[in-house]
Structure 1
Amino acid sequence: MTLYMPLFRSCTVPRTLAQLHAHLVVSGLHRDPQASTKLIESYAQMGSLQSSTHVFKTFPNPDSFMCGVLMKCFVWNHCFQEAILLYHEMLHRENCMNRFIFPSVLRACSGFGDMGVGGKVHGRIIKSGFDSDAVVETSLFGLYGELGSLGDARKVFDAMPVRDVVSWSSIISCSVENGEASEGLDMFRWMVFEGVELDSVTMLCVAEACGELALLREARSVHGHVVRRGIKTDGSLDNSLISMYSKCGDLQSAKTIFRSVTHWDTASWTAMISGYNQTGSFSEALDAFVEMQESKVEPNSVTLMCVLRSCIRLGLHREGSSVHCFAIRNGVDPDLDFLGSALFELYSEIGGLSYCQKVINTIGGRNVVSWNTIISGYCQKGLLREALVLFVQMQTQGLMPDSFSMSSALSACGKVGSLELGHQIHGHIIKRSYLDEFVLNSLIDMYSKCGFVDSAYMIFDKIKHLGLVTWNAMISGFSQNGNPVMAIGLFDEMYLNCHEINEVTILSIIQACSELGYLEKGKWVHHKLITLGIRKDLFTDTALTDMYAKCGDLRSAQGVFDMMEERSVVSWSVMIAGYGMHGRINAATSLFDQMVETGVQPNEIIFMNILSACSHAGAVEKGRFYFRSMRDFGIEPTAEHFACMVDLLSRAGDLNGAYEIIKSMPTPVDASIWGALLNGCRIHQRMDMIESIKRDVLDISTDDTGYYTLFSNIYAEGGNWDEFGNVRLMMKGIGLRKVPGYSIIELDKQVHRFGAGDTPLPQMKEVYSFLEKFQSLARE
């Protein structure tokens, strides 16, 4: 067989290798393990895995070495599932397992994204006694690092009896790649304290960590380590130092290192162009690209991706298209493995969705990162259903979604209310063990937005280490789903446990206080916002204004409003609505005029608020004036505006005018508008008019229980119990029930919510005692 080994090296085309294979079969040497193993490897190197598999399956008794070679071939060609299946097959063979098998199968598990199988392989490694093998341990780092399980990687590291520079570099790299750059730096400090000799690979990881955290002082210290210890700086480390300084905002130091490089290759220029982008110097990045071309250095796909980013940020769409043409002419990244995401962003800004679709079709099923960018881009542009279609299409292409893909898809599911697909993604997450914080937060947000806040809380309650984003997601979920008491309770728990809070936390809890009318808590939150030095922005100021207004403290609402550095149309809207709901019509209209004078264009919500203010105050003429003024601002009245006018006229007793408005509406009349007219009829005892419009009202198909309840109450007040019973029977016949009301009361700085039929609260005695005192005060 030794005579045939040079022939394998000379086989450079499949035909020659097939001829050699035939010769080995004729001579009977194909039964030699060494020859068959070499055939398997040679076929795989030529891209013919089918032939490699055939050789393996036709061999009578493959040994562990042959199995290991075929598995390695599978991994080389990204056939991760086939490698895992081969591993399971090997478990049932005798003498087929050795330490060389495990690095390949661990790489297959990480590539396939299967933490479940990876964990079982780790168990087999321990059972087989290979857990102390340095190569196997490094592969375990790779598995846990790529699948985002930093805790498991740390356990492997801590259990190692001897840690060399490779082990230290691996755990630091694992930390940085999983978004824990700070922990990576801590590990580096520990490594220096232990006296482990540093090398260029270690410093490359540490430089990346400093760049991610934008720690300029630490970055200079790392650079000092490189210089003082005489660590040989190859091109990779130089480029990493350039990137590090750029991310820390020290462009001058990045330029200094770039100029000190003796030979500028493609990677050096790319690092510098990327550095310009990092510091927002996009024009300088394009100048550097021109200089790179003048120096006859060929750009690669990463270079062109950076240049495309510069063009996009500067709005140079034509130049961006020219870069695309340059890539096509020079055959750079023909499959768009790197440029796909940048080109998608470019063409989506231009508005050429047909070009975006061509980018998607070109990418096919090869690049997870590009697919993630495209799905995320569709989400950001509000094309949520299209994003979900792409998410499904990515999987039909045979590409396994990662945690970022699933988080983007879950976000889209929540916004469009696609609970069924959200459930399916949740099942996939459990199956693949993608239970990192990023994915879990997306699940909480998805269930909350779909109205299943209990499911969101079940996920929240099982998380052992709760981060700030997780707390915020759950508090926001309760607040958005009409459960402000739970939102405030969760916030109190978060605060008492000394967890960090930020402007997102504050915004959610202010909205909860607003819904409850919980003024004292709202003031406390406002105080904490100031004392903790949390950055205030337009959204927080607007929410505070809304909270004070809804809680009846108009002076504080106006105070926050007056202190705003900038005001959006929403800010004006909530202040106008605040005055309107408290009957301060003159203040509301004055504020409206002031808004127009400052050049802010009123929108549909503003007019709805001002019409509602007129309705509460009974200002009929002002209401008519503002209703007619809508078209002067280019706004066509919607059903909500007509409902406000009908309510205004009905409350004022002009029921005929209200009825005429309904009949003149260009759009179908919904139940809320008829409900406003019915309420006016009830107030002014116009039973005759109720009978005349009864047919119009009952023809409407609606599941609004308030509308039916109003109808039945009118008959009850008029003593017409037969008709009252008919309406209630009608409700029962179509499966509607009156929505029970509820009450909210504050006792000892706690808010309690209860309704008819609720289980008595422990504080019911105090509640009744308070009500008795309140009644006695009312009598006085």
Structure 2
Amino acid sequence: MGLYMPLFKCSTTLRTLTQLHAHLLVTALHKDALASTKLIESYSQMGDLQASKSIFRTFHSPDSFMWGMLLKSHVWSGSYEGAINLYHQMFCQQIQFNAYTFPSVLRACSGFGDLSVGERVHGRVIKSGFDMDPVVETSLLSMYGELGYLDSACKVFDEMPLRDLVSWSSIISCNVGNGKIIEGLDTFRCMVSEGVAPDSVLILTVAEACGELEVLRLAKSVHGYILRMGIESDRSFDSSLIFMYAKCGSLHSAEILFENVTHHCTSTWTAMISSYNQGGYFQEALAVFASMRNTDVEPNSVTMMVILRSCTNLGLLREGKSVHCVVIKNELDTNLDCLGPTLLELYAGAAKHDHCEKILHEVGGRGIVVWNTLISVYAQKGLLKEALVLFVRMQKQGLMPDSFSLASSLSASGNEGMFQLGLQIHGHVIKRPFMDEYVLNALIDMYSKCGFVDLAYMIFDKMEPKGVVTWNSMICGLSQNGYSTKAISLFDLMYLTCLEIGDVAFVGVIQACTHLGFLEKGKWIHHKVITFGVRKDLYIETALVDMYAKCGDLQTARRVFDNMSERSLVSWSTLLSSYGVHACSHAGCVKEGMLFFSSVRDFGIEPKIEHFACIVDLLSRAGDLDGAYKIIKSMPFPAGASIWGSLLNGCRIHQRLDIAKNIRSELLNIQTDDTGYYTLLSNIYAEGGEWNEFRKVRSMMKCTGLKKVPAYSVLQLGKKAYRFGAGDASHSQTKDTHRYIDNFQRFSQEEVNNVQPHCSLHDTSSYSEYNYSSSYSIV
């Protein structure tokens, strides 16, 4: 057999390996355990797991070494579930485990995402006496870290009697991979202080950590350490440092490093292109790619993936197709395993659904990544039904969804209002389980969008720890569902816990202040936006304009609008609506309002339904109901309930019931859940004596389950806002307030009884509860 060992190493293609296998069969050496094991290993390295399994099955009595090699073959091929099943067979057949068995099965557990099996394997490691083996221990901490159970990984690491470079590297990678960047860098410092010298692989991880932390000073410190220690630099090293500087916001440093590289290779060119992408300089990325094409350096699949993203972000479909052609011509990614998701982003972004289907058909059976990508892109583009259909199709093809596909589908369910499907996905989450923060945040968002805020808050309340995204989702959910006071209270709690507050939370709490008319709190939040150093954000600034305007401070609203770095259609609409409410509609400034409406097109903005709603409201309040009706009929799209409601309100104010009668058929065809519209329509019929029509509208409200939303008042005391409605007894001081009112009424009654005999101009016997006012006449 020893003569054949070099031949296994020389068998670099599947064809030569098959020829060697045939020769071994002729010479009966296939019955030799070592030869069969080497064949299993060689076929696995060629990616032919079926051939490895076939050899194993034909062997009469495989030993533990052969079992271990087949187990490793499954892991190499990505057949993690198959590896776990094989481990169970070994246990049932009482095959003796060795130190090489456990690292493979632990890798399979992390790859399959099954913690329960991993914990049972951990127990078997302890019973088998391999808990002191450094290789097995390192595999254990890697398994726990990759599954997100960092506490368990750290416990394994702390109990290791000897820690070599591999174990230190594993725990640092676990920290960085789970978002514990600072902890990972602290562990790196401890390792250096204990005299363990890092290798270039670990330094790459540290450079990645510095980039994720986005602290330039720390990045320079690591770079300085590399230079001081004389760690040998290679091309991948240069690439990592270039990208590290780019992620830390120092594109200039990345450019200098790139220019100082003596011999550029594919990885350094790719790193520079990625750096420009990272900073949003997509045109510059294309220019670097063009320069690369003028050299002898050939791009690889990663380069093409990066440049495709540049094309996608710029909306350059034609150029993206050209890149796709280069990929096909040079056979850079024949099976599209690397470029499949990126190409889907390009074509889905350009609404080329037929191209997406072709790529999905070609790649979809080999993995879940392309499905996840397309589901996510469809959800982001508003193609919610298409995203959910894909989610169902994926499972019909036998692919189990992961946390990414679950979160994207939950988001689509919330936006589409498909609550029942969202519930089914939640059930799937519980069964698997996929209780990671990403999925739980999606559940909070889905329940909030479907109006089930209590369920969203229940999930939020149980989550520990709560990340910034979790707080953002809950604050926005409360604000969007009318729980404005609760949203502000939650924001205050987030502020007190010293969490980093981002754009989403600020937008949510500003909208809550808008709903309550809470101007002082809104000013305080505006101050925090400035002091927190939040970058110029279109959504925050538009929300501030809306808040100041609706709270009555139109001057500040205009000042915020004038200082905006960019303005969207929503920004202009918000200001136009504000002037409509403050300066035109309620003041009757029809000419000024019409001037604003006409000037919208001067800024390249085509008036939309929000603009028409403002101008109809203006004309209706001013009494020009015929003009308002003409505007409605001239609209390029059908009028909704809000616009007809403005016209109806004008009819009621100016006693123009004739117009309301003329448009009766159009009014009855409106489909809306707005109870105010139906209430206004029924009141008009009642005032005009049209009682049959009045009863029809009220009956329609009952049949559709609509109820008039009760009015409420908001009182601001200090830094808190209190909401009161009719019959509301939720406030803690309600009993004290009623007791005070009762005492005041009793005191008033006593005063009336004392004053009445002296001031009366009539016989006291004629007094009733209705003529107390006359008893206060002083002669």
- CA apart distance, 1:84: 0.8
Q: Tell me whether 1:593 sits opposite 2:595 in the alignment.
A: yes
Aligned in 2, Cα 1:252/1:347: closer, same or farther, shift over 3 Å?
A: same
Equivalent residue number for residue 582 of structure 2: 579
Aligned in 2, Cα 1:272/1:764: closer, same or farther, shift over 3 Å?
A: closer
Equivalent residue number for residue 176 of structure 2: 176
- Contact 1:542 1:570 (C-alpha < 8 Å) held by counterparts: no
Q: Distance in 1 between matches of 2:352 and 2:136?
A: 49
- Contact 1:338 1:370 (C-alpha < 8 Å) held by counterparts: no
- CA apart distance, 1:3: 7.2
Equivalent residue number for residue 643 of structure 1: 645
Q: Distance in 2 between matches of 1:639 and 1:740?
A: 16
Q: Distance in 2 between matches of 1:247 and 1:537?
A: 20
Aligned in 2, Cα 1:736/1:325: closer, same or farther, shift over 3 Å?
A: closer
Equivalent residue number for residue 660 of structure 1: 662
Q: Distance in 1 between matches of 2:361 and 2:53?
A: 31
Equivalent residue number for residue 198 of structure 2: 198
- Contact 2:710 2:726 (C-alpha < 8 Å) held by counterparts: yes
Match of 1:763 among 726, 733, 752: 733
Q: Distance in 2 between matches of 1:283 and 1:563?
A: 32
- Contact 1:546 1:578 (C-alpha < 8 Å) held by counterparts: no
Q: Distance in 2 between matches of 1:638 and 1:774?
A: 49
Equivalent residue number for residue 556 of structure 2: 559
Match of 2:650, as an amino acid?
A: L
Aligned in 2, Cα 1:608/1:275: closer, same or farther, shift over 3 Å?
A: closer
Deviations 1:254-306 (A, max 9, x none): 45544555544333332333334344554554444344444333321111122
Q: Distance in 2 between matches of 1:52 and 1:675?
A: 75
Match of 2:658, as an amino acid?
A: N
Q: Distance in 1 between matches of 2:239 and 2:528?
A: 45
Equivalent residue number for residue 604 of structure 1: 609
Aligned in 2, Cα 1:327/1:485: closer, same or farther, shift over 3 Å?
A: same
- CA apart distance, 1:328: 1.0
Equivalent residue number for residue 691 of structure 2: 690
Match of 2:646, as an amino acid?
A: C
Aligned in 2, Cα 1:5/1:346: closer, same or farther, shift over 3 Å?
A: closer
Match of 1:690, as an amino acid?
A: W
Q: Tell me whether 1:680 sits opposite 2:677 in the alignment.
A: no
- CA apart distance, 1:679: 0.4
Match of 1:269, as an amino acid?
A: W
Equivalent residue number for residue 728 of structure 1: none
**Aligned to 1:160, what secondary structure does the other structure show?**
coil
Alignment RMSD (CA, Å) = 3.8
- Greater alpha carbon shift after TM alignment, 671-680 vs 647-656: 671-680
Aligned in 2, Cα 1:256/1:754: closer, same or farther, shift over 3 Å?
A: closer
Equivalent residue number for residue 723 of structure 1: none
Q: Tell me whether 1:329 sits opposite 2:333 in the alignment.
A: no
Equivalent residue number for residue 357 of structure 2: 357
Equivalent residue number for residue 225 of structure 2: 225
Aligned in 2, Cα 1:119/1:415: closer, same or farther, shift over 3 Å?
A: farther
TM-score (norm 1): 0.83
- CA apart distance, 1:770: 6.4
Deviations 1:36-63 (A, max 9, x none): 5445445545655445435545656544
- Greater alpha carbon shift after TM alignment, 171-180 vs 204-213: 171-180
- Contact 1:544 1:557 (C-alpha < 8 Å) held by counterparts: no
Aligned in 2, Cα 1:47/1:271: closer, same or farther, shift over 3 Å?
A: closer
Alignment of 1:118-267 (within 5 A): 118-251=118-251, 253-258=253-258, 261=261, 263-267=263-267
Q: Distance in 2 between matches of 1:587 and 1:119?
A: 74
- CA apart distance, 1:250: 4.2
Identity %: 50
- CA apart distance, 1:87: 1.5
Aligned in 2, Cα 1:369/1:153: closer, same or farther, shift over 3 Å?
A: farther
Aligned in 2, Cα 1:398/1:72: closer, same or farther, shift over 3 Å?
A: farther
Deviations 1:293-321 (A, max 9, x none): 44333321111122223334455432322
Aligned in 2, Cα 1:72/1:491: closer, same or farther, shift over 3 Å?
A: same
**Aligned to 1:364, what secondary structure does the other structure show?**
helix
Equivalent residue number for residue 269 of structure 2: 269
Q: Tell me whether 1:570 sits opposite 2:559 in the alignment.
A: no
Equivalent residue number for residue 403 of structure 1: 403
Aligned in 2, Cα 1:624/1:576: closer, same or farther, shift over 3 Å?
A: farther
Q: Tell me whether 1:109 sits opposite 2:109 in the alignment.
A: yes
- CA apart distance, 1:157: 2.7
- Contact 2:685 2:694 (C-alpha < 8 Å) held by counterparts: no
Aligned in 2, Cα 1:515/1:39: closer, same or farther, shift over 3 Å?
A: same
| Larger relative contact order (Cα-Cα within 8 Å, sequence gap ≥ 6) | 1
**Aligned to 1:365, what secondary structure does the other structure show?**
helix
Deviations 1:91-132 (A, max 9, x none): 333352222111111211222222332233234334434333
Aligned in 2, Cα 1:743/1:259: closer, same or farther, shift over 3 Å?
A: closer
Q: Which runs of 5+ in 2 are unaligned?
A: 750-771
Alignment of 1:448-487 (within 5 A): 448-487=448-487
What is the aligned residue count? 734
- Greater alpha carbon shift after TM alignment, 264-273 vs 384-393: 264-273
- CA apart distance, 1:85: 1.0
- Contact 2:148 2:178 (C-alpha < 8 Å) held by counterparts: yes
- Greater alpha carbon shift after TM alignment, 205-214 vs 261-270: 261-270
- CA apart distance, 1:199: 1.6
Aligned in 2, Cα 1:300/1:669: closer, same or farther, shift over 3 Å?
A: closer
- CA apart distance, 1:75: 1.1
Q: Tell me whether 1:17 sits opposite 2:21 in the alignment.
A: yes
Match of 1:649, as an amino acid?
A: C
Equivalent residue number for residue 731 of structure 1: none
- Contact 2:211 2:243 (C-alpha < 8 Å) held by counterparts: yes
- Contact 1:109 1:117 (C-alpha < 8 Å) held by counterparts: yes
- Contact 1:448 1:477 (C-alpha < 8 Å) held by counterparts: yes
Deviations 1:345-387 (A, max 9, x none): 3333444221122222222233544433322221221111212
Equivalent residue number for residue 759 of structure 2: none
Q: Distance in 1 between matches of 2:62 and 2:728?
A: 71
- Contact 2:266 2:300 (C-alpha < 8 Å) held by counterparts: yes
- CA apart distance, 1:193: 2.7
Match of 2:325, as an amino acid?
A: C
Aligned in 2, Cα 1:669/1:35: closer, same or farther, shift over 3 Å?
A: closer
- Contact 1:445 1:456 (C-alpha < 8 Å) held by counterparts: yes
Equivalent residue number for residue 439 of structure 1: 439
Aligned in 2, Cα 1:327/1:430: closer, same or farther, shift over 3 Å?
A: same
Q: Distance in 2 between matches of 1:154 and 1:80?
A: 24
Q: Distance in 2 between matches of 1:146 and 1:78?
A: 15
Equivalent residue number for residue 625 of structure 1: 627
- CA apart distance, 1:431: 4.2
- Contact 1:311 1:319 (C-alpha < 8 Å) held by counterparts: yes
- Contact 2:640 2:670 (C-alpha < 8 Å) held by counterparts: no
Q: Distance in 2 between matches of 1:528 and 1:494?
A: 13
Aligned in 2, Cα 1:757/1:633: closer, same or farther, shift over 3 Å?
A: closer
Aligned in 2, Cα 1:267/1:534: closer, same or farther, shift over 3 Å?
A: closer
Q: Distance in 2 between matches of 1:42 and 1:502?
A: 52
TM-score (norm 2): 0.83
Q: Distance in 1 between matches of 2:704 and 2:253?
A: 72
- CA apart distance, 1:501: 3.2
Aligned in 2, Cα 1:207/1:571: closer, same or farther, shift over 3 Å?
A: same
Alignment of 1:45-84 (within 5 A): 45=45, 48-57=48-57, 62-84=62-84
Q: Distance in 1 between matches of 2:180 and 2:18?
A: 47
Q: Which runs of 5+ in 1 are unaligned?
A: 706-733
Equivalent residue number for residue 755 of structure 2: none
Aligned in 2, Cα 1:658/1:770: closer, same or farther, shift over 3 Å?
A: farther
**Aligned to 1:12, what secondary structure does the other structure show?**
helix
- Contact 2:588 2:618 (C-alpha < 8 Å) held by counterparts: no
- Greater alpha carbon shift after TM alignment, 345-354 vs 7-16: 7-16
Q: Distance in 2 between matches of 1:670 and 1:436?
A: 38
Match of 1:603, as an amino acid?
A: K
